Amino acid sequence: MIDVLEAGFAPHTVPYRDGWELQRRIHADVVADGRNETLILLEHDAVFTAGSRTEDDERPRSSGTPVIDVDRGGRITWHGPGQLIGYPIMRVADRGDAVACVRSIEQLLIDLIAPLGVAGVRVEGRSGVWVERENGTADKIAAIGMRVSRGVTMHGFALNCNHSLAPYDEIVACGIRDAGVTTIARETGSDISPTDLAGTTASAFRNTFERIPA
C-alpha cells in the first residue's frame, strides 16, 4: 500500500526546506519499515533548486528568488506556486531499478495530461515529459529528478500546471539550452491548478506502483 500525503497547496504553499525535511523524515521511516511507502504532493514557495551537476553559468544572476543546492542529480530548476510537486518515497528494488521508476512516472504523467488535451511525449536521451512542436523542437511540461538512498527514492517530479514561465528566463533549466518550458494552462487555455490534479495524480500513482508487490 502507498500512502498519499498532501502537505500543502496554495495559498498554503510549503517552503522548500520544510518539504525537504519532511521527505527525510518519511524516507527514514520507510527505510526502517516504520511506515508505508508514501507519495508526498504539494506546492512549494518560489525557489530555484540546483542539483549536483549545475554549472555556474546556469544559475540566476539577479533574481531575489532563493537558490538551494540539493542532494539530487541533475541541474538547476524552478519550483513554485502553480506547479504540482510529487515526492515518491518508495523502494526501488520492488520496481526493477531507478531508471524503471523514472520511466513509469513519465508514462503516468503522459497518461494524466492526455485527457486534458495535452499530448505529452518522451524525448530520447532526456528525462521528463515534453510537448513537441511542428518545427521539431519540444518544450518540457514535467521534470523528473530522483535520488536513491538506502534503496529508497527521494525527490521526484514537477508537473507544470498554471504558473508563469518568467522564472525560467533567469536560468538554463535542467542545463538544457535548446528547448523551452510550458504549462498545462498554456497548452490548453484552461486555468488548471495543482489542486485540481492532486486526486487524479494520487490515483494514477497508486495504479502504477501498487500493482507490484512490495
Residues with a catalytic annotation lie at 174
Q: Is residue 214 part of a domain?
A: no
Structural domain including 116 reads: 2-209
Q: Is residue 79 part of a domain?
A: yes
Instruction: Give the Cβ contact number of residue 174 at 10 Å.
Output: 24
Q: Is residue 40 part of a domain?
A: yes
Judge whether residue 8 has pLDDT over 50. yes
pLDDT tens track for 38-82: 999 999 999 998 887 788 788 887 668 889 888 777 778 899 999
Q: Is residue 71 part of a domain?
A: yes
Q: Is residue 64 part of a domain?
A: yes
Please give the pLDDT value at position 214. Answer: 45
pLDDT tens track for 144-187: 988 999 999 999 999 999 999 998 888 766 555 556 899 999 99
Q: Is residue 169 part of a domain?
A: yes
Instruction: Indicate the number of domains in the chain.
Output: 1
Q: How far apart are CA 42 and CA 16, in angstroms?
A: 10
pLDDT tens track for 84-130: 999 999 999 888 899 999 999 999 999 999 999 999 999 988 889 99
CATH number for position 10: 3.30.930.10
Q: Which amino acid, one-letter code, is at 150?
A: R
Q: How far apart are CA 106 and CA 146, in angstroms?
A: 12
The string of DSSP letters for 6-33 reads EEE-TTS-B-HHHHHHHHHHHHHHHHTT
Q: Is residue 112 part of a domain?
A: yes
